[in-house]
Amino acid sequence: MTHPAPPRLVDSHCHLDFPDFDGELPAIIDRAVAAGVSSMVTICTKQRSVPQVRAIADAHAPVFWAAGTHPMSVATEPMASVDDLVALAAHPKFVGIGETGLDYHYTSETAEMQQDSLRIHIEAARRTGLPLIIHARAADDDMARILTDEYRAGAYDCVMHCFSSSAALGRAALDLGFYLSMSGIAAFPRSSDLREIFAAAPVDRILVETDAPYLAPPPHRGKRNEPAYVARTAAVGAETFGLSLSEFARQTSANFDRLFAKAAAWRAADAA
């Protein structure tokens, strides 16, 4: 008896260069593909990690990459410049700017530096036409203000990665035409309020991700996350929107292709 192929999914945000995956990366990627994950975007959070992250994307057809300076690292790592990010965008599988953003939960003392870095990344997103990838934690008011003010100064595309912030920040992002990404947090039993925020959003503005190796969804919670597990989060997302898994997978994959158009174009050319 043959089993139907799993629906096509995309893990829009993971960290395949992290030591959690050392020595296992080919198997990790194979398991993701077997689970229906056609594309993965691995995120470089420190400029010194660029060669390693780029090499992973070069070595594995389903893997794309993005890079930026993580907001929690602005005081300890070299801050990416606009020119740095624009130069990285020349790589054919470089598809996004970030992750960048604001994190006042752990690093509020560097708030001003984080805001400066965020604006640098926004300008790079404008210049390259690539989507901005936002990390937001405990900084909703400043995040909404900066994203809105900067958008008025010049349009750009954006995804709120691992969205788990307030309904107000979610609405502000959606009002700008941005996307919200569901991570394993949305699948946690106690995340009903967060699921309600997602359910109120247009389904054509939703992505799914793992943030692997972090935030594994049930039944893997507390263990190492990996891109294959995005299917678990997608199942919860489908239920949240009242769709079948295949419908939700098709919609979120189309959303990814629209936002990360460079990845979609590369995949189409590779298949030709």
pTM of the model: 0.96
Angle, CA 182 vertex, CA 248 and CA 112 arms, to 5°: 150
DSSP assignment letter at 130? P
Looking at 129-260, list the stretches that DSSP marks H as alpha helix, in order from N- to C-terminal side.
140-153, 167-175, 192-199, 230-241, 245-259
Contacts of residue 100, Cβ cutoff 8 Å, sequence gap at least 6: 68, 69, 70, 71, 117, 118, 120, 121, 132, 133, 134, 135
pLDDT at res. 237? 98
pLDDT at res. 2? 59
Q: Say what angle helices 167-175 and 140-153 make with each other, to 10 degrees.
A: 10
Distance CA 98, CA 262 (A): 15
Delineate the domains of the chain, giving CATH numbers in brackets: 9-261 (3.20.20.140)
- Burial class from Cβ neighbours inside 10 Å (0-12, 13-18, 19+) for residue 214 reads middle
- Please report which helix (H) or strand (E) contains residue 270, including its range: helix 261-271
DSSP assignment letter at 73? G
Q: Which two tokens stand for residue 263?
A: 């990845």
Q: Please, what are the averages of pLDDT over each run of 10 residues along the chain (272 residues)?
A: 81 97 96 97 96 98 97 95 98 98 96 98 98 97 98 98 97 98 96 97 98 96 96 97 98 98 94 78
Which among 201, 203, 236, 199 has a CA at the least distance from the CA of 217?
Answer: 236
For 187, phi then psi, to 5°, come to -95, -10
158 in Cβ contact with 184 (< 8 Å): no
Looking at the chain, the number of H-run helices and the number of E-run strands are 11, 8
Which among 189, 127, 118 has a CA at the least distance from the CA of 160?
Answer: 118
- Residue keyed to tokens 């949240």: 240
**Paired sense of beta strands 37-44 and 94-103, if any:** unpaired
Residue 211 falls in which region: left (phi positive, over 0), alpha (psi -120 to 50) or beta = left
pLDDT at res. 4? 76
